[in-house]
C-alpha cells in the first residue's frame, strides 16, 4: 500500500500534538503561577529569556577576532543569532542590552526599538528572527478575549499588592472591554471562575506576533493598529456594547508578544502617535466609544537612513524621537563574515552548480571595498585586511595600524555601499547562465561588472565600483591565483614550507645568539647560512640593514610562544609565513609560467601540468571545467612581464 507510509507520518504527528493544553478557572491558573511565576512574565522579559535560553557564550580568549577586532572586550555571543547572522556581534549585543533593561522594567520597556540601516543590511531578517523566537512558546490568556489579556489583570486593584507579594509577580493594567463584558454577563462578576486557556505564540495564526506593513497615506487607517467597530454588528448591539468590536489590529494581536512596524516613518503622524501611546503609556485607543486598552508588547520598528533623517529633521517629531531607542544596523565590514552571508543564502537556494574556490570571496571583497571610506593611513585593500583581522606585512614587519583609529576616522562607514542583495543578484545571474553549470571568480567578476553597469545610476559611484572590480579586486584575485597555482606545483607544499621554516629558525637563532648551529642529520657544527636566510628575507623586501632586526624579531617571537607551551609552525609569525610562501612560490614561478602558458608541452611538462590540475581538483575543490577556466585566465593575465 503505497499511501500508508504517508498516513503513518500524519498519525504519529497528530499523536504528538495532542499533549493536553491547560484550560481551567482563574483560580486554577493562580496555582500554576504559584508553581512557576515566570508564566506571567511581561513581554520584554519573556522575549529576553527565550533568546537567552538558547545559550550565551563569550568569544573564546584564543579567538583572534577577540583582540584584533573587539579590543579584547568580552563580547557575548548569543547562540540564537550566531548561526544566522554574521559579523553582527556588536549590533546584537546592543539589541540584547536593550531587551535586558526592558526585561528589568527600565525605561527601555517604554520605548520603541528602532533598527536603522541601509538596504539589505539585515533589518528585516533580524526582526523576523526575533519574532520567530517566540513562535511556538506557550502563554496563558483569558478565554474569548480578543486581546488575549493577562489573567492576573482580573485581580481587583485593592487586592493586587497582596497577590503580588504572595505570587512574587507584578500585575499591570486592566482587562479589555470584551473581557469585562464577559466577566459581568457570563461569570456574574465571579472572576475566580473566569476561564483561562493555554496557547502558543504564532505569527501565522496572529497570536502574540503582529507585523504592520507600511501603507500609503490614502489607504492608511489606524484600524490596522487598533481594530475597528464591526458595522454589521451595530444594528444588533448598541454603540457602547463591546460585542461590536473587532479587536484584530496589530496591537490587539501583538499584545503579550511583539509588534513589528515595517518602514515605520512612511506612516502618517496619527499612526505614530498611537504607537507612542502604546509604548509609553502601555495603552492603546479602542475603536468606538470604549476605554483605552492595556497593551504589553515589544515594539520593533525599522527604517532606512533617509527616512530617519527626514523624520528627525522636523522638530514637531521630537516627542516621538524621545521615545525611540535607535540601533544602527550597518553593513558588515569583515570579509570573512560577509562570505558566510552568501554561503548561508546559497545554502538555502536550489542552485546546484559548482562554485569554484574564491568565487564568493571575490564578490565579497567587492562589496566590502565599496563600503569603505578612504584613509590617509593606508589604501582600501589594506584597510579591508585590517578590518578582517589580518596582519599586513610591510618590509618584514607587521604594519602597525590601529583598527580603532581607522574606525574613528570614518564613523559612518558601513552605512553606504553595495548591499548584500546586490551581490546575491550578481551571484544568481552568474549561476543562472544556462549554458554552464559552474561559476568561477572569472565569471563572477563579469557578472559584477554587468550588474554595476545595469543597476548603479550614480555615475561617480558607478565608476568607483568599476574601478574596484577591474583593478583592486581583480589584482588581488590574480595574486591569490598565482600563489595557488604555484602551490599546486609544489608537491607536499605544507611539508616543504615547514621544513624551510625549521631550517630558517635554526639559522636565525644561531645568527642572533652568535653561536654555531648543529646540522640536524650529521650533528656537525655549522655556521649560519647567510645566503639561504637572505633568499627568504629578500622575498618580502627585508633590506640587508634590516636583516638583523628581522631575525631577532622572529627568534624572540617564536621562543616566547614556545615558552608558553604553544606549538610553532611556519604560519605562526605572519611576516615569516609570507616570506616562506613567497620564497617557495617564486621557486616554481618559472615552471608554473612555462607549463601553464605553453600550448605544446613535452612529456615531463605534461606530467607536471596534469599533477598540478589534479591537486587543484583534489585539494582545492575545482572541477575540470572550473580549473580550466581559471587556468586560461591565469595564462592570459599572469606573468605578463616575464
Residues found near Mg ion in the complex (CB under 5 A): 124
Please choose, out of 113-121, 354-362, 435-443, 545-553, the segment that lies near ligand ATP by the rule CB under 6 A: 113-121
| Residue 353, all three cell numbers | 552548480
Q: What are phi and psi of 327, to 5 degrees?
A: -120, 125
241 vs 336, beta carbon nearer ligand ATP: 336
- Provide the mask over 345-374, with x wherever binding to ligand ATP is found by CB under 6 A and - wherever it is not: x-----------------------------
Cα 285 from Cα 336, distance rounded (Å):
48
Half-sphere exposure (CA, 13 Å, Cβ side) for 360?
Answer: 18
In angstroms, give the least distance from the CB of 431 to Mg ion. 23
Smallest distance from the beta carbon of 415 to ligand ATP, in angstroms?
A: 12
Q: How far is the CB of 348 from ligand ATP (least distance, A)?
A: 9
Kindly tell me which of 296 and 338 has the beta carbon lying closer to ligand ATP: 338
**What distance in Å separates the CA atoms of residue 255 and residue 146, rounded to the nearest whole number?**
10
CA distance linking residue 260 with residue 274, whole number of Å? 14
CA distance 24 to 195: 6
> Which does residue 244 bind out of ligand ATP, Mg ion, none, counting CB within 5 to 8 angstroms by kind?
none
Query: Residue 88, interface with ligand ATP (CB under 6 A)?
Result: yes
Least distance in angstroms from the C-beta of 249 to ligand ATP: 23
Q: 124 or 637, CB closer to Mg ion?
A: 124
Q: How far is the CB of 412 from Mg ion (least distance, A)?
A: 20
Work out what residue 477 binds among Mg ion, ligand ATP, none; the CB cut-off runs from 5 to 8 Å by kind. Answer: none
Residue 421 touches which of Mg ion, ligand ATP, none (Cβ within 5-8 Å per kind): ligand ATP
Beta carbon nearer to ligand ATP, 68 or 340:
340
Q: Which is nearer to ligand ATP, 328 or 537 (CB)?
A: 328
**Which lies closer to Mg ion via its Cβ, residue 121 or residue 393?**
121
The answer to whether residue 124 forms part of the interface with ligand ATP (CB under 6 A) is: yes
249, 254, 255, 260 alpha-carbon torsion, rounded to 10°: -110
436 in helix, strand or coil? coil
Among 27, 104, 119, 556, the residue binding ligand ATP under the rule CB under 6 A is 119
CB-nearer residue toward ligand ATP: 94 or 110: 94
Which listed option, ligand ATP, Mg ion, none, makes contact with residue 125 (CB within 5 to 8 Å by class)? ligand ATP
**Least Å from the CB of residue 349 to ligand ATP:** 11
Q: Is the Cβ–Cβ distance between 228 and 280 less than 8 Å?
A: no
The single residue listed with the C-alpha cell 515589544 is 298
245 and 287 in contact (C-beta within 8 Å)? yes
Walk across the sheet containing 324-328 and list its strands: 209-212, 258-261, 298-303, 112-116, 324-328
Could you give the CA distance from residue 209 to residue 205 in angstroms, rounded to a whole number?
A: 9
The least distance separating ligand ATP from the CB of residue 210, rounded to whole angstroms, comes to 18
Residue 121 within binding range of ligand ATP, rule CB under 6 A: yes
Least Å from the CB of residue 11 to ligand ATP: 36
Pairwise CA distance, residues 292 & 578, whole Å = 69
Q: Minimum distance from CB of 342 to ligand ATP (Å)? A: 9
Please tell me the distance from the alpha carbon of residue 237 to that of residue 230, in angstroms, as a whole number. 10
Residue in 69, 108, 120, 510 binding ligand ATP, rule: CB under 6 A: 120
Question: With CB under 6 A as the contact rule, which of the stretches 82-90, 200-208, 393-401, 585-593 interacts with ligand ATP?
Answer: 82-90
Residue 370 neighbours by CB under 8 Å, 6+ apart: 417, 418, 464, 465, 468
**φ and ψ of 259, to 5 deg:** -120, 125
Least separation in angstroms between CB 117 and Mg ion? 9
Judged by CB under 6 A, the residue of 85, 265, 308, 501 near ligand ATP is 85
Q: Which stretch binds ligand ATP (CB under 6 A): 79-87, 160-168, 195-203, 208-216?
A: 79-87
* Residue 415 is a binding residue for ligand ATP (CB under 6 A): no
Binding part of the chain for ligand ATP, among 8-16, 114-122, 477-485, 519-527 by CB under 6 A, reads 114-122
Select the binding partner of residue 88 from Mg ion, ligand ATP, none (C-beta < 5 to 8 A, by kind): ligand ATP
In the complex, least distance from residue 123 CB atom to ligand ATP, rounded to whole angstroms? 3
90 touching ligand ATP, by CB under 6 A: no
Q: Which one of Mg ion, ligand ATP, none is in contact with 173 (Cβ closer than 5 to 8 A by kind)? A: none
Exposure string of 559-596, with b = 16+ CB inside 10 Å and e = fewer, is eeeeeeeeebebebbebbbbbbbbbbbebbbebbbebb
Residue closer to ligand ATP, measured from CB, 421 or 606: 421
Select 305 or 409, whichever has its Cβ closest to Mg ion: 305
- Is there a contact between 386 and 333 (Cβ–Cβ < 8 Å)? no
Q: Measure the CA–CA gap between 321 and 302, rounded to whole angstroms.
A: 14
Contact between 203 and 131 (Cβ < 8 Å) = yes
| Binding-residue pattern over the window 421 to 450 for ligand ATP, x denoting contact by CB under 6 A | x-----------------------------
DSSP result, 560-625: HHHHTT----TTSSHHHHHHHHHHHHHHHHHHHHHHHH-SS--HHHHHHHHHHHHHHHHTT---HH
- Read off the C-alpha cell for 149: 489579556
Q: Which residue is nearest to Mg ion (CB)?
A: 124
Segment near ligand ATP (CB under 6 A), from 115-123, 242-250, 532-540, 622-630? 115-123
208 binds, among ligand ATP, Mg ion, none (CB under 5 to 8 A by kind): none
User: Least Å distance between CB 263 and ligand ATP?
Assistant: 7
Strands 112-116 and 324-328: parallel
Answer for which of 203, 211, 286, 420 binds ligand ATP (CB under 6 A) is 420
Roughly what angle, to the nearest 10 degrees, separates helices 547-563 and 574-597?
Answer: 110
Euclidean distance between the first and the last CA atom of the chain, given in angstroms as a whole number: 72
d(CA 486, CA 120): 38
Q: Decide which of Mg ion, ligand ATP, none touches 87; Cβ closer than 5 to 8 Å per partner kind.
A: ligand ATP
Q: What residues are paired with 113 via a beta bridge? A: 300, 325
Q: What share of the chain is helix, strand, coil (3-state, %, to 5)?
A: 55, 10, 35
Q: Which three cell numbers stand for residue 178?
A: 470584551
Per CB under 6 A, 123 contacts ligand ATP: yes
- CB-wise, 122 or 146, nearer to Mg ion? 122
Shortest distance in whole angstroms from residue 85 CB to ligand ATP: 4
Q: What residue ranges bind ligand ATP (CB under 6 A)?
A: 85-88, 117, 119-125, 304, 332, 341, 345, 420-421
Amino acid at each position: 500500500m503505497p499511501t500508508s507510509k504517508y498516513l503513518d507520518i500524519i498519525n504519529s504527528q497528530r499523536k504528538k500534538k495532542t499533549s493536553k493544553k491547560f484550560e481551567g478557572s482563574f483560580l486554577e491558573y493562580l496555582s500554576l503561577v504559584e508553581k512557576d511565576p515566570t508564566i506571567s512574565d511581561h513581554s520584554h522579559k519573556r522575549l529576553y529569556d527565550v533568546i537567552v535560553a538558547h545559550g550565551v557564550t563569550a568569544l573564546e580568549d584564543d579567538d583572534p577576532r577577540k583582540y584584533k577586532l573587539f579590543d579584547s572586550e568580552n563580547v557575548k555571543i548569543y547562540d540564537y543569532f550566531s548561526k544566522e547572522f554574521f559579523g553582527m556581534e556588536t549590533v546584537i549585543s546592543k539589541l540584547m542590552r536593550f531587551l535586558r533593561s526592558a526585561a528589568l522594567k527600565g525605561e527601555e520597556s517604554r520605548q520603541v526599538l528602532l533598527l536603522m540601516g541601509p538596504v539589505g543590511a539585515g533589518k528585516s531578517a533580524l526582526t523576523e528572527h526575533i519574532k520567530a523566537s517566540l513562535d511556538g512558546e506557550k502563554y496563558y490568556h483569558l478565554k474569548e478575549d480578543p486581546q488575549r489579556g493577562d489573567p492576573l489583570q482580573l485581580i481587583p486593584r485593592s487586592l493586587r499588592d497582596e497577590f503580588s507579594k504572595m505570587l512574587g509577580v507584578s500585575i499591570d493594567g486592566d482587562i479589555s472591554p470584551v473581557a469585562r463584558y464577559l466577566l459581568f454577563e457570563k461569570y456574574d462578576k465571579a472572576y475566580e471562575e473566569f476561564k483561562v486557556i493555554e496557547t502558543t505564540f504564532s505569527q501565522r495564526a496572529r497570536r502574540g506576533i503582529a507585523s504592520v506593513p507600511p501603507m500609503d497615506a490614502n489607504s492608511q487607517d489606524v484600524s490596522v493598529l487598533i481594530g475597528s467597530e464591526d458595522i454589521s454588528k451595530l444594528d444588533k448591539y448598541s454603540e457602547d456594547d463591546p460585542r461590536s468590536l473587532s479587536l484584530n489590529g496589530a496591537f490587539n494581536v501583538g499584545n503579550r508578544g511583539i509588534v513589528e512596524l515595517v518602514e515605520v516613518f512612511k506612516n502618517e503622524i496619527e499612526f505614530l502617535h498611537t504607537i507612542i501611546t502604546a509604548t509609553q503609556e502601555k495603552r492603546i485607543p479602542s475603536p468606538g466609544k470604549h476605554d483605552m486598552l492595556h497593551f504589553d508588547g515589544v515594539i520593533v520598528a525599522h527604517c532606512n537612513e533617509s527616512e530617519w533623517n527626514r523624520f528627525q529633521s522636523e522638530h514637531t517629531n521630537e516627542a516621538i524621537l524621545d521615545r525611540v531607542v535607535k540601533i544602527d544596523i550597518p553593513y558588515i565590514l569583515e570579509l570573512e563574515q560577509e562570505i558566510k552571508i552568501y554561503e548561508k543564502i546559497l545554502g538555502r537556494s536550489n542552485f546546484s552548480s559548482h562554485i569554484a574556490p574564491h568565487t564568493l570571496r571575490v564578490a565579497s571583497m567587492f562589496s566590502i571595498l565599496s563600503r569603505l571610506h578612504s584613509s590617509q593611513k593606508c589604501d582600501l585593500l589594506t584597510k579591508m585586511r585590517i578590518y578582517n583581522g589580518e596582519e599586513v606585512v610591510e618590509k618584514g614587519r607587521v604594519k602597525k595600524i590601529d583598527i580603532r583609529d581607522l574606525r574613528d576616522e570614518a564613523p559612518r562607514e558601513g552605512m553606504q555601499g553595495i548591499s548584500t542583495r546586490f551581490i546575491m543578484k550578481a551571484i544568481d545571474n552568474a549561476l543562472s547562465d544556462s549554458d554552464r553549470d559552474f561559476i568561477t571568480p572569472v565569471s563572477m567578476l563579469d557578472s559584477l561588472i554587468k550588474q554595476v553597469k545595469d543597476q548603479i545610476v550614480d555615475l561617480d559611484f558607478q565608476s568607483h565600483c568599476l574601478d574596484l572590480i577591474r583593478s583592486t579586486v581583480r589584482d588581488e584575485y590574480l595574486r591569490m591565483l598565482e600563489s595557488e597555482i604555484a602551490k599546486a606545483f609544489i608537491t607536499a607544499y605544507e611539508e616543504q614550507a615547514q621544513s624551510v621554516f625549521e631550517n630558517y629558525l635554526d639559522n636565525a637563532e644561531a645568527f642572533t645568539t652568535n653561536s654555531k648551529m648543529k646540522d640536524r642529520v650529521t650533528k656537525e657544527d655549522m655556521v649560519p647560512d647567510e645566503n639561504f636566510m637572505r633568499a627568504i628575507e629578500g622575498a618580502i623586501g627585508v633590506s640587508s640593514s634590516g636583516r638583523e632586526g628581522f631575525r631577532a624579531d622572529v627568534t624572540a617571537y617564536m621562543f616566547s610562544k614556545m615558552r608558553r607551551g604553544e606549538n610553532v609552525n611556519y604560519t605562526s609569525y605572519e611576516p615569516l609565513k609570507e616570506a616562506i610562501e613567497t620564497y617557495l612560490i617564486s621557486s616554481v614561478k618559472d615552471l608554473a609560467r612555462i607549463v601553464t602558458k605553453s600550448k605544446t608541452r613535452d612529456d615531463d611538462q605534461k606530467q607536471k601540468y596534469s599533477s598540478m590540475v589534479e591537486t587543484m581538483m583534489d585539494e582545492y575543490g575545482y572541477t575540470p571545467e572550473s580549473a580550466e577556466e581559471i587556468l586560461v585566465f591565469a595564462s592570459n593575465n599572469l606573468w605578463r612581464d616575464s
